[in-house]
Amino acid sequence: MSALQVFLCDLCILLVIGFNFTTAEEAPRVNTTAGATTPATGNCSCGGFTSEHPGAGDSPIISQQPGLTVAEDAAGEATCKALCVALATATKAKGPEILCNRLKTADELKLSAFFKVGSRPWLYAGMTAEAPLCCEAGKVKVCASAVALNATTVGVTPPAAAV
């Protein structure tokens, strides 16, 4: 299985089959005995974008909430990112097939993993597919770039050995 298929398997299974058991409290909570305000909490969400740098109004092509509520702060973001990356890495079975079944068509798609907490913006999780995915009629197909790459490497003559 190629690195692309492994990555897409990981991310797609996470996003398509993810768990959603908890709900988020969107408003800050106040500790009435101490008078201190604790940070707001929000649902952790994992998503896949077609770029490592999506525009402000862009939405993920696939997303899921894995069922984790965390604080809307740096520690909560770190926890959410770790969960999304771990789930994407751990689920390797049928990502490309699941994604193609959902999208129906895709041409040279390189999915990038993102995460967010509550109403905060999407943040890049540091994972992007190494090779593109192509789909036709809901089925995985070989991308033109892979065919072109194979054609150029097949006809290459190895360099002469140094004497």
- Between 82 and 130, where is the model more confident? 82
pTM of the model: 0.68
- Between 28 and 111, where is the model more confident? 111
Whole-number Å distance between alpha carbons of 113 and 50: 9
- Asked if the model's pLDDT at residue 32 lies above 70, the reply is no
- Asked if the model's pLDDT at residue 49 lies above 70, the reply is yes
- Between 37 and 115, where is the model more confident? 115
Closest CA to 19 of 42, 41, 46: 46
- Asked if the model's pLDDT at residue 107 lies above 80, the reply is yes
